[in-house]
């Protein structure tokens, strides 16, 4: 019987709450070393995150992964060659319509447009996630909104389940080419149809001559659910909610303790 270390050829990591404590901007020495050791062991490394070019900062420079899957799977970026491997974006007219139809029901509406984010006036720019990148956030203006790089809509709300039901109704009534991709306690992600981290990883592994059966994946949040479920070896962080842990094969210590690094060492992958 093959050992895990002989099967795994690619490793994917969520960022916030998995590699990096919320609000932090520098990865620990062990996490940076982990990416170096993955490369030395000829294991492909991937950041798979809700972050995109407006909010990734210098994380790619700090870690130097092989690939960056951003906006929950909307695009795959080849870090070394600085080019897109894949992207699937939202339709501008549909984004504008949803903005006007839903903005009274949410605290904030944001849409990423390559390396900028266009937001409704009430988006909180002082949250731990946005604050370091607030210069990349601009007031929503349909005249300047692009057409080729609209990746993900983020909605801030205290009532995500109710709002998601309304969004689903709007999408169905208008036949929009989008869907609710993840819900959490304070918000909702809306992206192109059939887009998530797992589907992006399936595309990438196939392109590399591999499959999800060669993948180890780490995550802690609702948008990691499919990735952990579909990976050969999904690992949930200790802080993850129970539904995430239930689809994972293993649990790692939280990012404050470099749990991903320690788990890869324990499994002898690095």
List of domains in the chain:
4-85+196-266 (3.40.50.1000), 92-191 (3.30.1240.10)
Q: What is the chain's mean pLDDT, rounded?
A: 97
**Digit-coded pLDDT (tens) for 185-222:** 899 999 999 999 999 999 999 999 999 999 999 999 99
Q: Which residues contact 127 (CB under 8 A, 6 or more apart)?
A: none
pLDDT tens track for 142-187: 999 999 999 999 999 999 999 999 999 999 999 999 999 999 989 9
- Euclidean distance between CA atoms 63 and 41, whole angstroms: 16
Helices marked H in 73-230: 92-102, 160-174, 197-207, 225-230
231 Rama class: left (phi>0) / alpha (psi -120 to 50) / beta: beta
Q: For strand 108-113 and strand 116-119, is the pairing parallel, antiparallel, or unpaired?
A: antiparallel
Residue pair 48/12 in contact (Cβ under 8 Å)? The answer is: yes
Q: How confident is the model at residue 175, as a pLDDT?
A: 98
Q: Scanning the structure block, which residue is given the tokens 């999800």?
A: 212
Q: Is residue 1 very low, low, confident or very high in pLDDT (cuts 50, 70, 90)?
A: confident
Separation between Cα atoms, residue 120 and residue 182, nearest integer Å: 20
Please give the share of the chain, as a percent, with pLDDT higher than 70: 100
Residue 61's Cα: distance from chain center in Å?
18
- The pTM of this model reads 0.95
> Mean pLDDT, to the nearest integer, of 116-134?
95
CA distances from 167 to 79, 119, 225, 239 (A): 34, 18, 21, 29
Confidence label for 2 from pLDDT (cuts 50, 70 and 90): confident
Burial 15-29 (b: 16+ CB within 10 A, else e): bbbbbbeeeeeebbe
């Amino acid at each position: 019987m093959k050992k895990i270390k002989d099967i795994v050829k690619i490793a994917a990591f969520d960022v916030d709450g998995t590699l990096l404590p919320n609000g932090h901007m520098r990865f620990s020495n062990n996490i940076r070393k982990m990416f170096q050791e993955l490369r030395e062991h000829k294991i492909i490394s991937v950041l798979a995150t809700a972050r995109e070019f407006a909010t990734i900062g210098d994380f790619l420079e700090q870690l130097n992964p092989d690939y960056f899957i951003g906006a929950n799977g909307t695009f795959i970026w080849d870090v070394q060659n600085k080019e897109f491997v894949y992207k699937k974006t939202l339709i501008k007219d549909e984004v504008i319509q949803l903005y006007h139809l839903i903005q009274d029901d949410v605290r904030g509406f944001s849409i990423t447009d390559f390396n900028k984010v266009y937001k409704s006036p009430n988006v909180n720019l002082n949250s731990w996630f946005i604050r370091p990148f607030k210069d990349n956030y601009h007031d929503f203006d349909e005249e300047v909104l692009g057409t080729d790089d609209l990746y993900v809509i983020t909605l801030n709300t205290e009532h995500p389940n109710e709002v998601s039901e309304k969004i689903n109704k709007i999408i169905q009534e208008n036949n929009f080419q989008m869907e609710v991709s993840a819900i959490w306690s304070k918000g909702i992600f809306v992206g192109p149809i059939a887009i998530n981290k797992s589907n992006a990883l399936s595309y990438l592994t196939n392109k590399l001559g591999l499959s999800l059966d060669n993948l180890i994946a780490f995550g802690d949040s609702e948008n990691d659910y499919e990735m952990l479920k579909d990976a050969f070896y999904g690992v949930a962080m200790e802080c993850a909610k129970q539904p995430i842990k239930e689809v994972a094969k293993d649990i790692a210590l939280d990012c404050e303790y470099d749990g991903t690094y320690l788990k890869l060492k324990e499994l002898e992958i690095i």
